[in-house]
Amino acid sequence: MARPRVLITGGAGFLGSHLCERFLAEGFEVVCMDNLITGDMRNVEQLFRDASFHFEKRDVTEHIHVPGPVDAVLHFASPASPIDYLELPIQTLKVGSLGTHKALGLAHAKKARFLLASTSECYGDPLVHPQSEDYWGNVNPVGPRGVYDEAKRFAEAMTMAYHRFHGLDTRIVRIFNTYGPRMRLRDGRALPAFMSQALRGEALTVFGDGSQTRSFCYVDDLVEGIWRLLNSKEHLPVNIGNPTEMTILQFAQAVIEATGSKSGIEFRPLPVDDPKVRQPDISKARRLLGWEPKVALKDGLGRTLDHFRARVALGPEPTRAQGVR
Asked, for residue 318, whether it belongs to a domain, the answer is: no
Tell me, yes or no, whether 322 lies in a domain: no
Q: Are strands 113-119 and 170-175 parallel, antiparallel or unpaired?
A: parallel
Q: Are strands 204-207 and 113-119 parallel, antiparallel or unpaired?
A: unpaired
Which range of 78-87, 122-131, 179-188 scores highest in mean pLDDT? It is: 122-131
Query: What is the number of structural domains in the chain?
Result: 1
- AA identity, residue 126: P
DSSP state of 95: I
250 neighbors 190 (Cβ within 8 angstroms): no
Look up the pTM and report it: 0.95
**DSSP one-letter code for 166:** H
In 10-135, the DSSP E strands lie at 29-34, 53-57, 72-75, 113-119
CA distances for 208 relative to 31, 244, 275, 279, angstroms: 42, 21, 11, 19
Is 320's pLDDT higher than 60? no
185 versus 245: the higher-pLDDT residue is 245
Half-sphere exposure of 36 (CA within 13 A, CB side): 12
| 3-state SS record for 125-184 | CCCCCCECCCCCCECCCCCCCHHHHHHHHHHHHHHHHHHHHHCCCEEEEEECCEECCCCC
pLDDT of residue 272: 85
Contacts of 2 (CB under 8 A, 6+ apart): 69
Mean pLDDT calculated for residue range 69-95 = 95
Mean pLDDT of 111-126: 97
**Average pLDDT score, the chain:** 94
Q: Cβ(242)–Cβ(216) under 8 Å?
A: yes
- Cα–Cα distance measured from residue 183 to residue 311, given in angstroms and rounded to the nearest whole number: 10
Task: Give me Rg for the CA atoms of the chain.
Answer: 19
Nearest to 272 by CA among 115, 86, 133: 86
Residue 276 lies in a domain: yes
Rounded to the nearest 5°, which phi and psi values hold at 71? -95, -30
Is 136 a member of any domain? yes
**Are 202 and 179 contacting, i.e. CB atoms less than 8 angstroms apart?**
no
Banded pLDDT at 2 (limits 50, 70, 90):
confident
CATH number, residue 141: 3.40.50.720
Domain that holds residue 12: 5-313
Q: Which residues are catalytic?
A: 148
Domain assignment of residue 285, yes or no: yes
Q: What is the helix, strand, coil percentage profile of the chain, to 5?
A: 40, 20, 40
Is residue 14 within 8 Å of 39, Cβ to Cβ?
no
pLDDT at 323: 41
Report the pLDDT value the prediction gives residue 82, as an integer from 0 to 100.
Answer: 87
**319 in any annotated domain:** no
Helix (H) or strand (E) holding 38: none
Please say if the pLDDT value at position 167 is more than 80: yes
Mean pLDDT, range 288-314, rounded to an integer? 95
Q: In Å, what is the CA distance from 184 to each residue of 83, 95, 199, 311?
A: 11, 20, 14, 8
Q: Has residue 238 been placed in a domain?
A: yes
pLDDT the model gives residue 100: 98
Residue 308 located in a structural domain: yes
Residue type, 186: R
